[in-house]
Amino acid sequence: MIGNKIHQFARELWPINRSITGKGVRETLEKISRHLPTLEIKSIPSGTQVFDWIVPKEWSVNEAYIIAPSGKKICDFSKNNLHLVGYSVPFVGSISFDDLKEHLYTLSDQPNAIPYVTSYYKERWGFCLSQDQFNKLKKGTYKVVVDTTLFDGELNYGELLIKGKSNKEIFLSTYICHPSMANNELSGPTVVTFLAKWLQEINKTDFSYRIIFIPETIGSITYLSKNYKDMKKKIFAGFNVSCVGDDRAYSYLPSRNGKTLSDMIAKHVLKWIDPNFVEYSWLDRGSDERQYCAPGIDLPIASILRTKYGIYPEYHTSLDNLENVVTPKGLDGGYWAIRKAIEAIEKNKKYKTTILCEPQMSKRDLYPTLSVGNLNEETRLKKAATLLIMNFISFCDGHTSLLEIAENLNLPIWKLYDVVDLLKSHSLIDEN
């Protein structure tokens, strides 16, 4: 099960402190590049204008903690990188408990969870802790150490282009900007890494693939600002990959258009993987699809997820872990859902029958030659297979796609791949 390998890779990435910039992003990309040696790691300088945004300063953390009046060290960044509010500015000093409270963040409805909090675009410092930890704090003077640096550095992302027979591209995007959380972060880049490995192992795909590992929002905006004209010309399908690692549900989030090939493929695949999959609307968006489907960009990007971000209770907390939330089975399911979608796009051709009227199947040993009432099991199966073939051929008009035929026959598209190969071997259909 490939989910085991993906889960193992997620464990390797787990301890790294990731943010929208910094050493953690580069370290993550370097580890991904060990699996994908042709991955290009790009850098964009701080201060670069990207549409309406500016690439922020780079953020680095040396250490961060609080010493309680008892002398005990709490909220230690080295123990859990969620303890420090993302992009906290430097601060060292002694502070009263009442003043300290203004810089502490908890979740009262999840008393054992450390929340994930960031402040990318407004300078502040802060710490996150569980409500249970907070409730144990006493009045007194606390020593605070936030040894961080904000400086003119760079924003980094990874880009992989896999050339196919056609210059038409399928796009995969995932983000690498969250610290230690499993479903909402690590599931996306780890699953995409193994999908990219599989694509590179294929002898030659029909389509080309553009795959990027980026910090969320600012990364997609930055990438689009440099590439969107080329992307609009080449990309005809793709998926934003996030939250694909739990085994609780399957979900679909549409493109803004809602009727692209990506949308139709996603819904078809999920219908046959899990008839109870959750279908969201564009108004439920929350990740980089916001940028890819923005007016003027209008890329055909949908999302196939397990349980969607913001829905599962552990979202953006320390409880989103590799034990209770993301599992090898969950990652395996996420991987295969997207892989089946990619395979479906690759095979979604239009076919035209090479003869007029129905072909004579019996002379090709594709139909029983004897008409009797009581058929044996082998003959019944052969007759059923032939019926499928004949139904398939009836739609081979050169205009109806394989996906449309699958929908007409009420079958998963992958059940037709062997039918296509069989009919091609007998020269009964051609690609139109």
Q: What pLDDT is stored for residue 380 in this prediction?
A: 65
Q: Are residues 126 and 238 in the same domain?
A: no
Q: What pLDDT is stored for residue 191 in this prediction?
A: 98
Q: Are residues 307 and 331 in the same domain?
A: yes
Tell me the average pLDDT of the chain: 95
Higher pLDDT, 386 or 32: 32
Domain that includes residue 100, residue range: 60-150
The mean pLDDT value for 330-342 works out to: 98
Residue 223 has pLDDT above 60, yes or no: yes
In tens, the pLDDT along 292-322 reads: 999 999 999 999 999 999 999 999 999 999 9
- With contact defined as beta carbons under 8 Å apart, do 368 and 384 qualify? no
Express as a percent the part of the chain with pLDDT over 70: 96
Burial class (CB in 10 A: 0-12, 13-18, 19+), 169: buried
Q: What pLDDT is stored for residue 363 in this prediction?
A: 80
Structure-block tokens of residue 203: 């002898």
In tens, the pLDDT along 97-140 reads: 999 999 999 999 999 999 999 999 999 999 999 999 999 999 99
Q: What pLDDT is stored for residue 376 in this prediction?
A: 57
Q: What pLDDT is stored for residue 374 in this prediction?
A: 52
- With contact defined as beta carbons under 8 Å apart, do 224 and 285 qualify? no
Q: Are residues 143 and 175 in the same domain?
A: no
- With contact defined as beta carbons under 8 Å apart, do 338 and 195 qualify? yes
Residue 368 has pLDDT above 70, yes or no: no
Q: What pLDDT is stored for residue 401 in this prediction?
A: 98
Spatial separation of the C-alpha atoms in residues 249 and 251, rounded to whole Å: 7
Spatial separation of the C-alpha atoms in residues 233 and 299, rounded to whole Å: 10
Q: Are residues 130 and 166 in the same domain?
A: no
Only one residue has tokens 């599931």, namely 187
Of 135, 150, 165, the last residue of a domain is 150
Supply the pTM of this predicted model. 0.95
| Confidence band of 372 (pLDDT split at 50, 70, 90) | very low
CA distances from residue 162 to 26, 187, 212, 223, 241 in whole angstroms, order as listed: 22, 22, 11, 17, 18
Q: Provide the CATH number for the domain around residue 98.
A: 3.50.30.90
Q: Are residues 178 and 122 in the same domain?
A: no
Higher pLDDT, 368 or 381: 381
Q: What pLDDT is stored for residue 379 in this prediction?
A: 59
Q: Are residues 186 and 101 in the same domain?
A: no
Q: What pLDDT is stored for residue 172 in this prediction?
A: 98
Q: Are residues 209 and 334 in the same domain?
A: yes
**At 429, phi and psi to the nearest 5?**
-140, 155
Domain tally for the chain?
A: 3
Of 150, 179, 195, the last residue of a domain is 150
Spatial separation of the C-alpha atoms in residues 181 and 55, rounded to whole Å: 24
**At 29, phi and psi to the nearest 5?**
-65, -35
Q: Are residues 267 and 341 in the same domain?
A: yes
Q: What pLDDT is stored for residue 125 in this prediction?
A: 98
Residue 88 has pLDDT above 70, yes or no: yes
Q: Are residues 332 and 363 in the same domain?
A: no
Q: Are residues 207 and 279 in the same domain?
A: yes
Structure-block tokens of residue 187: 């599931």
Q: Provide the CATH number for the domain around residue 327.
A: 3.40.630.10
Residue 174 has pLDDT above 60, yes or no: yes
Of 313, 347, 381, the last residue of a domain is 347
Spatial separation of the C-alpha atoms in residues 385 and 401, rounded to whole Å: 21
Q: What pLDDT is stored for residue 359 in this prediction?
A: 85
Q: What pLDDT is stored for residue 362 in this prediction?
A: 73
Helix, strand, coil in percent for the chain, rounding step 5: 35, 25, 40
Q: Are residues 185 and 217 in the same domain?
A: yes
Spatial separation of the C-alpha atoms in residues 209 and 197, rounded to whole Å: 12
Residue 358: HSE in the Cβ half-sphere, 13 Å Cα cutoff: 13
Q: Are residues 106 and 48 in the same domain?
A: no
In tens, the pLDDT along 19-53 reads: 999 999 999 999 999 999 999 999 999 999 999 99
Spatial separation of the C-alpha atoms in residues 294 and 91, rounded to whole Å: 39
Residue 323: HSE in the Cβ half-sphere, 13 Å Cα cutoff: 2
Residue 429 has pLDDT above 70, yes or no: yes
